[in-house]
Amino acid sequence: MQAGLRNYLVITAGYWGFTITDGAIRMLVVLYFHQLGYSPLQLAMLFLFYEFFGVVTNLVGGWLGARIGLNRTMFIGMGLQVIALSMLTVPDAVLTVTYVMLAQAISGIAKDLNKMSAKASVKLMLPSTDNKTENQINKQLFKWVAVLTGSKNSLKGAGFFIGAALLSIVGFRFALLILAGCLLLVLIITFLMLSGEIGKTSYKPKFKQLFSNTPEINWLSAARFFLFGSRDVWFVVGLPVFLGSVLGWEHTEVGAFMALWIIAYGLVQALSPKLLRRSHQNHGPDGRTSKRWVFLLAFIPAGIAIALQLSINPSLVVILGLALFGVVFAINSAVHSFLILAFSDHDKVSLNVGFYYMANAGGRLTGTIFSGLAYQMWGLVGCLWISSLFVFIAGLLTIPLATNTK
């Protein structure tokens, strides 16, 4: 087996293990603290540092990965997640909003170090590109990125379900201890199996090089900000609270539903190269692809909001609407994840991916805050209208990519 393929499989497996804990801890925190009586806005605030430090981590993480290697930044991320999980096992009296925000900050740093490391590594681990055209390389890169990203999201969905199930079966603290122990085992195995220094550059990039001066990357990053803000503005707090408090679903039902959604969303991401095969048979997608799919997405949350305002069966509307949103959003996300690597040179890939996922984390942060605030003020309908506005802005920011494809 080629060294690049072997390392790709090891990193993907490690990323899978981490992702399960990331999904589980999010569901545990939302359900447990909602059970303790936290308001939607308070729940959103619990994730404020998680998302804020994701912004900082992605910006600094790409620079750090270029200096010390992406495998090392991945190991650091796993270790920090073990610490974050362990911190939440203290008695309820210690679990103040500030304390939980601190633990979530560490978890946010861990998640984005891990994600940046795994995704930036893909381009560097492609098998030998001798005798291959650029279109053939891009086609293969699209497949590898889609599999990594799609499988990760499916397993994050599994983590949602595992978190909700563990909360019901063993309780909050034992669930966290189980997750921390399993991730520590994954860290040890990955450390022993991963060879070499991945992504470490021969030169030492300066801190000022963190910010991209490539127009395509800047436009794509700006679009990514609003794209992921559009998802989290109704998905993080509004949707689970709506399912539990308005539709009367149990914890395990909420966890199972959201888990199935993310699993299906991940599968669509993984299958994106096949779904787009007719229009991109011999090459990867481009800016025109991104523009078409993002404007299509803008109509979906607006349609769900209108249906709810017309008092159409809310359970049916949310389930079908979320399914449609998931399919189109997954294709958008897969195209974006490919384009950031396609636009990046090998020696700047970790820096560009870090900058790009900084924008991603910034969008998630904005969406998370709006999710709690908008739901508390206007309910799920308000969250959905803001989501539609965010997607439309993302579409406008994608137009330059469609006219200047690389």
What tokens were used for 19?
A: 């992702």
Count how many Cα atoms sit within 13 Å of the Cα of residue 108 in the half-sphere of its side chain: 26
> What one-character DSSP code corresponds to residue 343?
T
What's the confidence (pLDDT) of residue 62? 67
Residue 334 CA to residue 138 CA, distance in Å, equals 13
SS3 251: helix
Binned at pLDDT 50, 70 and 90, residue 1 comes out as: very low
What's the confidence (pLDDT) of residue 94? 86
Reported as a single tens digit per residue, the pLDDT across 307-365 is 999 999 999 999 999 999 999 999 998 888 888 877 776 656 667 777 787 888 889 88
DSSP string, 95-137: --HHHHHHHHHHHHHHHHHHHHHHHHHHHHTPPP-TT--HHHH
List of residues 6+ apart from 39 with CB closer than 8 A = 372, 376
> What one-character DSSP code corresponds to residue 21?
H
Average pLDDT over residues 14-23: 87
pLDDT above 90 (res 207): no
Q: At 380, which amino acid appears?
A: L
Binned at pLDDT 50, 70 and 90, residue 406 comes out as: very low
What pTM does this model have?
A: 0.74
| CATH (residue range 3-126+133-198+214-403) | 1.20.1250.20
List of residues 6+ apart from 278 with CB closer than 8 A = none
* Residue ranges covered by each domain of the chain: 3-126+133-198+214-403
Residue 92 CA to residue 238 CA, distance in Å, equals 24
CA neighbor of 240 nearest in space, from 223, 226, 257, 224? 257
Length of the chain: 406
Binned at pLDDT 50, 70 and 90, residue 25 comes out as: confident
Residue 22 CA to residue 156 CA, distance in Å, equals 7
